Structure 1
Amino acid sequence: MTISPLTKQLITERFLKTALRAPSRLNLPPNALRFSLEQLAKLIPQNKDIIIRPLRIAGLRAEELKPQQQSTQLIFHIYGGAFFLGSMKTHRAFLTQVAARTQMQVLHVDYPLAPENPYPDALDAVFDVYCQLLDQGIQAKDIILSGDSCGANLALALALRIRQEQMPQASGLILLSPFLDLTLTSESLRYNQKHDALLSIEALETGIFYYVPKNTDRSDPNLSPFFADLKGLPPVHIQAGSKEILLDDAQRFKEKAEQAKVDVEFKIYTGMWHNFQMFSAWFDEAKQALSDLSDFAHRLDRD
């Protein structure tokens, strides 16, 4: 029996709201939520053609995902999870799909999570990884910074730190369902609150409580890179689902980046929720998102 795309979407949304969004609205210990998320991530198919090599870089556990022996570009991806969830286990399968689609090497690391490691530990950690990549002889023009959700926040904040330190800048930025404004002023937090199948406002608030030190201004550009001066950033590719509560984070950032003369590509995927790209095995919109991401990465490679 063939299931229609709409029926499949409704079933998936109901499952995600029950298995992920509802528990995230409760005051559960971080470790319990982390374990549950890792178990659910096992449902995402892993591309068996991708070689996965564990390593350590800048003191962090990491994995290198390689589709072939030689790749001209390295995608340094920072996973999301509202600053207190997520791991290499939750994103490994998804990133094998990215590596397979782009035919580029992907690196991801287990960076320090809150509340055990509040700001600026995560940002400092990914900056150290970038520095070590350069020290290893990888050229900045061959590195693409990437992230989903709060990982997109860290990827953008990392690009801003690189600019501040006057270091060689990465060739581009990929921001998937980005969480860029910790002051929570995006209107989509309200109008998409009932529509986003994956992410709740309560999860964002919990992550902010864990991540941001007391008496710290949440509009600090290092915490909320939406408020930063964006001039001089490399080309940016942004993706968001029309149903996600962070839609306006992406939309507002796109407009501000354009005003700063940044080369921006922004795509909205109809009917999709937060981090929908991880569901490319089941939804055409997610497959298209990976194709769009790949096209952007290859344009950077040609440039």
Structure 2
Amino acid sequence: MKIDPAIKQYLTESFLKATFRTPSRFNLPPMLLRSAIEQMTKVFPQPRQVQLRSLRLAGIQAEEIKPQSKSTQMIFHIHGGAFFVGSIKTHRAFLSEIAERTQMQVLHINYPLSPEARYPDALDAIYDVYSTLLNQGIQPKDIILSGDSCGANLALALCLRLKQEQLEMPSGLMLLCPFLDLTLTSESLRYNQKLDALLSVEALEAGIAYYVPKNLDKSDPLISPIFGDFEGLPPTLVQIGSKEILLDDAKRFTEKAKAADVDVRFKLYTGMWHNFQMFSPWFEEAKKALADIADFAHELDKN
């Protein structure tokens, strides 16, 4: 039986608010939340037309997702989770969908989570993995760097660090529902706080407290990359849902990147909540987002 799309969305948002957003507003132990989220993401169907391979890069647990034996391009994805939850397991089905749609190899990693590891441990680990890929002979032009939520923060921060060290950046950057301002000054945190079905301001505050040592300035561009210098960034895709509390993080980045002459494509998806792309098996806007990711990746591959 087909369910009316509006009813399906209402039921999904109600379920997410009850089981995910509301509990995230309380100070629950990170280990408990990590386990619960890994269990919840088992509902996402795993595409079968991909191959999974576990490996270690720079001492970090990683997973390679391959839709075919040979791929001309690699998508290096950094998972989200407010710096203290998320893993290879939570994002495997979603990234397998991306691998299948793009026919590109996807690499994702279990970077160090807070509060056990605080800034700059996660960024250092991602930098080390990127450096290891280059040392293995993979060319920057063959890497698309991607991240969702705080993973988009880490992906953009990596590009800023590469720029500081005058190292070659990847061919492209994909920022999905990005969390870029840890000073929490975006207006959408207020006006979308009741609309976002997945993410709460309290969860962001907890993640910031876990991730950033008290003696550090949260406006440091490697912590809050919205305050960085975007000149010289590679072509960038930004995706955001209209109901997200992080909507203005995405808008502010886009405006500033365009002012710096970055080739940036901003995509707004009507009625969607935080990390809606993971729900592509059930929602047309999420399917469209994955199609837009594939189009962007294929365009980079032609250049």
Q: Tell me the TM-score range normalised by the shorter chain.
A: over 0.9
Report what 1:276 is aligned to.
Answer: 276
SS at match of 2:155: helix
| Alignment partner of 1:291 is 2:291 | yes
What is the Cα deviation at residue 58 of structure 1?
A: 0.7
Partner AA of 2:257 in structure 1: A
| Alignment partner of 1:30 is 2:15 | no
Report what 1:9 is aligned to.
Answer: 9
Deviation per residue, 1:161-216 (Å, 9 max, x gap) = 11111112100000000000000000000000000000000000000000000121
Report what 1:155 is aligned to.
Answer: 155
**Partners of 1:272 and 1:42 in 2: how far apart?**
21
SS at match of 1:82: coil
Deviation per residue, 1:96-118 (Å, 9 max, x gap) = 00000110000000000000000
| Alignment partner of 1:109 is 2:86 | no
Report what 1:75 is aligned to.
Answer: 75
Partner AA of 1:289 in structure 2: A
SS at match of 2:43: coil
Report what 2:252 is aligned to.
Answer: 252
Report what 1:186 is aligned to.
Answer: 186
| Alignment partner of 1:176 is 2:176 | yes
Correspondences of 1:177-256 after superposition (within 5 Å): 177-256=177-256
SS at match of 1:119: coil
**Partners of 1:19 and 1:87 in 2: how far apart?**
19
List runs of 5+ in structure 1 lacking aligned partners: none
**Partners of 1:96 and 1:2 in 2: how far apart?**
26
Deviation per residue, 1:119-147 (Å, 9 max, x gap) = 00000000000000000000000000000
Q: Tell me the number of residue pairs that the alignment of Structure 1 and Structure 2 aligns.
A: 303
- The percent identity for this pair of structures is 69
**Partners of 1:229 and 1:67 in 2: how far apart?**
36
Correspondences of 1:135-150 after superposition (within 5 Å): 135-150=135-150
Partner AA of 2:61 in structure 1: R
Report what 1:167 is aligned to.
Answer: 167
Report what 1:121 is aligned to.
Answer: 121
Report what 1:94 is aligned to.
Answer: 94
What is the Cα deviation at residue 2 of structure 1?
A: 2.0
Report what 2:19 is aligned to.
Answer: 19
Partner AA of 2:149 in structure 1: S
SS at match of 1:65: strand
Residues 145-154 or 215-224, more deviating: 215-224
SS at match of 2:99: helix
List runs of 5+ in structure 2 lacking aligned partners: none
Runs of 4+ with >6 A deviation: none
**Partners of 2:50 and 2:199 in 1: how far apart?**
29
Query: TM-score w.r.t. structure 1 length?
Result: 0.99
Residues 158-167 or 97-106, more deviating: 158-167
Query: TM-score w.r.t. structure 2 length?
Result: 0.99
Report what 2:42 is aligned to.
Answer: 42
| Alignment partner of 1:64 is 2:58 | no
Deviation per residue, 1:230-284 (Å, 9 max, x gap) = 1011000000000000000000100000001100000000000000000000000
**Partners of 1:82 and 1:51 in 2: how far apart?**
28
**Partners of 2:252 and 2:83 in 1: how far apart?**
21
Partner AA of 2:5 in structure 1: P
SS at match of 1:267: strand
Deviation per residue, 1:34-85 (Å, 9 max, x gap) = 0000000000111011100000001011000000001000000000000001
